Amino acid sequence: MSAVLEVTDIKKSFGGITAVDGVSFDVREGEILGLIGPNGCGKSTLFNCILGQLTPTGGEVKLDGKVVTGLRPAELNKLGVSRTFQLLQVFPKLSVRENLILAGQEHQGNMASRLVGRSDAGLTETANQMIGFFKLDHLAAEPAGGLSYGQQKLLDAAMAFMGGPRLVLLDEPAGGVNPSMLSDLKERLVAINREKNATFVVIEHNMEFVMSLCSRVMVMAEGKVLAMGRPDEVRKNPAVIEAYLGH
């Protein structure tokens, strides 16, 4: 399996604090990689460096073998990298369907065709499929701000898939989602991973969720990679137990 994403020696410091301290790893085509570690260990900062929200102090990010370090988030998204955020990020005044159309429209045509072309950029059908897939049918026309937290979380994830991304970075998708909805979410993620051959990197604190979803897990502590391996290997690693999982 070839690497979709190669991260080499990424560093990011804020003033005197080094949040990410020389992290290297790669993500293989089609896998679901888990990223765990204590709060403040640099997981989200690493995501932001990879995705162009932050400029890394040092290091290199390669997508399909091409250097993409320093590209803007919108440019990376056009190259097929999508994400969700730790905190909910939907557009509250737009309806569920409009949120999804927005999430896909910039991947259709160009600026001019988006102005003079169809108002839904030809995406209503795709949006409806996504709505059905995430079981949001009865809410399609509601403003996203009126949905429950868990439903917004599903919408948030659904939006990340609208552009047909190859690589999706999910930042705590399970946070604040109730157990029944969580198993739904997991089922959806696995289905998209298999059917669309999308590669995932998932930050999550819910160990059961991570261990059952991911093929490999990377553990970070204090800005560094502490361990990397299969879920069962990582779970037994003494350093990981010490730093994160607890006895």
Summarize as ranges the residues that interact with another protein (CB under 8 A): 51, 53, 72-74, 77-78, 82-83, 85, 89-94, 98, 101-103, 105-108, 111, 114-117, 119, 121, 159, 162-163
Least Å distance, CB 104 to another protein, is 8
Nearer to another protein (CB atom), residue 50 or residue 225: 50
Nearer to another protein (CB atom), residue 4 or residue 228: 4
What one-letter code names the amino acid at 201? V
Nearer to another protein (CB atom), residue 66 or residue 236: 66
Q: CA-CA distance, 9 to 25, in Å (whole number)?
A: 9
Least Å distance, CB 148 to another protein, is 14
Least Å distance, CB 105 to another protein, is 4
Characterise 117 by phi-psi region: left (phi > 0), alpha (psi -120 to 50), beta (else).
beta
Nearer to another protein (CB atom), residue 57 or residue 108: 108
Nearer to another protein (CB atom), residue 107 or residue 224: 107
Least Å distance, CB 190 to another protein, is 23
Encoded tokens for 50? 């990879």
Least Å distance, CB 220 to another protein, is 22
DSSP 3-state of 212: helix
Q: What phi, psi does 224 have (nearest 5°)?
A: -120, 160
Q: CA-CA distance, 230 to 226, in Å (whole number)?
A: 14
- What are the start-end ranges of the E strands in 124-223? 167-171, 199-203, 216-221
